[in-house]
Amino acid sequence: MIKQKLSQREAKVLAFIEEKTGNFEDLILEIHAWQRTACRPYANFCAPMPSPATWHEIPALPLSAFRQAAIRCFSEGETERTFRTSGTTGEGYGEHHFQTLEVYRAAALAGWQLAGLPAGNVHCLLPKPTESPHSSLSCMAGWLAPAERFFWKDWDPLAKVLTGTEGPVALFGTALAFLDFFDWLGSRTLRLPEGSLAIETGGYKGSGREIPQEEFYARFTEKLGLEDIRNEYGMTELSSQFYAAGCPGVHRGGPWVRARVIDPETGLEAQDGATGVLRIFDLANIGSCCAIQTRDLAIRRGKDFELIGRDPAALPRGCSRSADEMLAR
Amino acid sequence: MKTAERAHRLAGILREFPFLGEISVENLLEVVERELGHPEILDGFRPYAGHFSRAIPREPILHVVSENTPHAALQSLARGLLLGARNFLKLPSGGLPEAEQFGKMAVEAGFSLQMTGGRETAPAMLREAKAVVVFGSDETISHFRKLVPGDAVFEPHGHRISLGMVFDDPRGESAPLAARDVSLFNQKGCLSPQDIYVAGDARGYAMHLAREMEQFHRKDPRGPVTPYEAAQIADMRANYRFRSANDPRVQIWESAGGTDWTVIYEEDPWFAASCLNRVVFVKPLPDDPAAALGPALDWLAAIGLWPATPEYVEKLAGLRPSRFCTLGRMQDAPFSWHQEGRQTLAPLVQWVDFQP
């Protein structure tokens, strides 16, 4: 029923995600050509650049564009949902508008499945979608778990549910929520059924908490007896996600989303094993912009990547106060 | 060793570090006289406002210096040596070759100095110090503030911002000077301008500055930066490319084939913080610079002026930077400058008065 409302382009992308019909390069070039005319701020951005011959050449929009302009290929009145970034970097909010959530939903569910994550018994350490309507993460989690499996800040009910559970569970939440839950547990530990796993996402931006990933993952083992820990890499400005297992893990996405690690000095793709910034090409970003230039550092691992993130410890050295420090105040 | 002899030996060492500028024996003794009242007041009781006084260094002095700013490190150490104090030098974890070399020469010249490196400062040094001079981030300063013994003097020097102001330069004649100030030390010094405010045709000035940034780069390339720093520049450029594509009040000029330099013209006079490494903003000079600087006022170090006339300095004195100078000399702070608006020798001594 819903599919009938989709545009031809959306239907094609949906078919590619769900039924693997079509090919990535043709689709993304077609969608880019359309976005280049349909989204005025992006059209202006692309104007000095030639039309791309390959998907590599599609001009990538910086994340800041989502703060500065309405990045959408439809009218404001046609907007079904708008998700907002957390604004924790101190630069204001970015907004990602959707005309339909159908493609986002398909990409999120297919990505979850491709990463080998379980379809049932997902418990979320997140606000419920109804309580956090502007959170794309809560929205996505709402497709994975019913409302009664959302836990946020009040950890007693979660501990009770986990204590009584029999089959394997999947815990999905932000890194900060897990840390908060572990703090709440104190010296207590839980032992989750065999086959259980955790998927953590998001950094510690603005929280003042910094913990090495290795130490963080060791707490899952110590507090919950979990050995299988995954990281989900996604962001409000994207519709698809990447997943990695273990620490350090290699992030991989579905066939409809690709990552390139770009040498920021040259703008060219980094050598395998070299560090650069992540550029994401996400077919599911059909109503906004398919090519996104992130600010995250990563190491190229073939077609996949190992995430470093925005390393706050790597501020330029010296005594000149930089932009990052101004924002950190 | 008397003060004059120390000044003599110190001037000899300082000559080996020409980036500090010319510092003569007389310059050193004059700073002692200006700050402490008499050039020999560290050597014995000397006349002081109707009685006699003697200055005694608070020692040992611990200098905690940061990476890539040998200027500040060497100047701080030179002050401690000039006072005749025992000195401890805590080197940054990544090392600071100029400071190490300076330190070795000082020891050979008979000065009292002990150096240490690594992430941790020897606790014994901190316990013993009677004065602690720290250069670094807010975090570093706050870390040491907690550790400094209660009876010790604490002299923090945090991260600062600097800017240029051009009042009368329709042909962009000062642009090469601004390019020098921006480019030297890759903006990592607290005296490096991040924004240049221009009266008149600011966009035209930005174009001149871009040309001069390229000229400077050809003579004196920036050199490599970390992937994180390059990523910050790439992000800032992409951000402003998007802005300029959608807003005629913004324009960007950038080096080709790399991140060597970037000039961003932005009509909004609100102070924009640079990501450093030769990324500079050019903005129209507003009627009320204090309002445009906003919170940046709290961290203001130097304002480079063109032309640097007493009239402009008086007019801008209310912004309370610690230094005004002519554009092109922003990086050449003299040994006698009041870093962060404070005396630099006086806090490191204590006094004994003699009233016959």
**pLDDT tens digits, B167-182:** 989 999 999 999 999 9
Q: CB of A208 within 8 Å of any CB in chain B?
A: no
For residues A55-72, average pLDDT: 96
**Which pLDDT band, with edges at 50, 70 and 90, does A203 fall under?**
low
Least confident of A90-94, A151-155, A251-255, B8-12: A90-94
Q: Does the pLDDT value for residue A313 go beyond 50? A: no
What pLDDT shows up at residue B139? 86
By C-alpha distance, the chain A residue nearest B162 is A320
| Chain B partners within 8 Å of A263 (Cβ) | 227, 230
Least confident of A59-63, A313-317, B266-270: A313-317
What pLDDT shows up at residue A75? 96
Residue type for position A43: A
Distance from CA of B244 to the nearest CA of A (A): 8
pLDDT in tens, A90-143: 667 899 999 999 999 999 999 999 999 998 899 999 999 999 999 999 999 999
B87 to A135, B60, B80, B268: CA distances (angstroms): 55, 5, 6, 47
Alpha-carbon distance B171 to B211, whole Å?
13
Check B188 against A277: CB less than 8 A apart: no
Q: Cβ–Cβ contacts within 10 Å for residue A139, how many?
A: 19
| Chain B partners within 8 Å of A62 (Cβ) | 235, 238-239, 241-242
Distance from CA of B8 to the nearest CA of A (A): 30
Q: What are phi and psi of B30, to 5 degrees?
A: -65, -35
ipTM here: 0.90
What pLDDT shows up at residue A86? 75
Q: Does the pLDDT value for residue A316 go beyond 50? A: no
Quick one: B4 exposed, middle or buried, by C-beta within 10 A (0-12, 13-18, 19+)? Answer: middle
Distance from CA of A209 to the nearest CA of B (A): 14
What pLDDT shows up at residue A132? 93
Q: Taking chain A, what is the end-to-end CA distance rounded to the nearest angstrom?
A: 50
| Chain B partners within 8 Å of A323 (Cβ) | 232, 236, 272-275
**Which pLDDT band, with edges at 50, 70 and 90, does A187 fall under?**
very high
What pLDDT shows up at residue A326? 53
What pLDDT shows up at residue A322? 57
Alpha-carbon distance B306 to B256, whole Å?
29
Strand ranges (E), A93-190: 95-98, 122-125, 170-174
Mutate to test the interface with B, among A322, A324, A327 (most CBs of B within 10 A): A322
| B positions 239-298 inside 8 Å of A (CB) | 239, 241-243, 245-246, 257-259, 272-277, 295-296
- Tell me the pLDDT of chain A averaged across its residues: 90
What pLDDT shows up at residue A1? 40
Alpha-carbon distance A176 to A123, whole Å?
16
Q: Does the pLDDT value for residue A329 go beyond 50? A: no
What pLDDT shows up at residue A204? 59
What pLDDT shows up at residue A102? 96
| Chain B partners within 8 Å of A44 (Cβ) | 245-246
Selection from A314, A323, A289, A218 nearest residue A68 by Cα: A289
**Cross-chain CB nearest to B242 (options A61, A277, A320):** A61
What pLDDT shows up at residue B116? 85
**Which pLDDT band, with edges at 50, 70 and 90, does A212 fall under?**
confident
For residues A34-61, average pLDDT: 97
DSSP-derived pairing of the beta strands B46-48 and B51-57? antiparallel
* Greater model confidence, B190 or A221: A221
Distance from CA of A82 to the nearest CA of B (A): 21
| Chain B partners within 8 Å of A293 (Cβ) | 234-235, 238
Q: Does the pLDDT value for residue A325 go beyond 70? A: no
Q: CB of A37 within 8 Å of any CB in chain B?
A: no
- Grouped pLDDT means (10 residues each) for chain B, 356 residues: 97 93 94 96 96 97 84 92 96 86 96 82 85 90 90 92 95 97 91 96 98 98 92 95 97 96 98 96 97 94 97 96 96 90 95 96
| B positions 57-96 inside 8 Å of A (CB) | 66-69, 72, 92, 94
What pLDDT shows up at residue B53? 97
| Chain A partners within 8 Å of B160 (Cβ) | 319-321
Check B235 against A322: CB less than 8 A apart: no
Q: Does the pLDDT value for residue A2 go beyond 50? A: no
Check A311 against B245: CB less than 8 A apart: no
Side-chain-facing half-sphere of A256: CA atoms under 13 Å: 32
Q: Does the pLDDT value for residue A328 go beyond 50? A: no
What pLDDT shows up at residue B119? 60
Distance from CA of B192 to the nearest CA of A (A): 7
Residue entry with tokens 């090469």: B176
For residues A296-312, average pLDDT: 87
| Chain B partners within 8 Å of A276 (Cβ) | 227, 231
- Tell me the pLDDT of chain B averaged across its residues: 94
pLDDT in tens, A104-117: 999 999 999 999 99
What pLDDT shows up at residue A122? 97
A191 to A157, A219, B121, B176: CA distances (angstroms): 16, 13, 42, 67
Check A320 against B72: CB less than 8 A apart: no
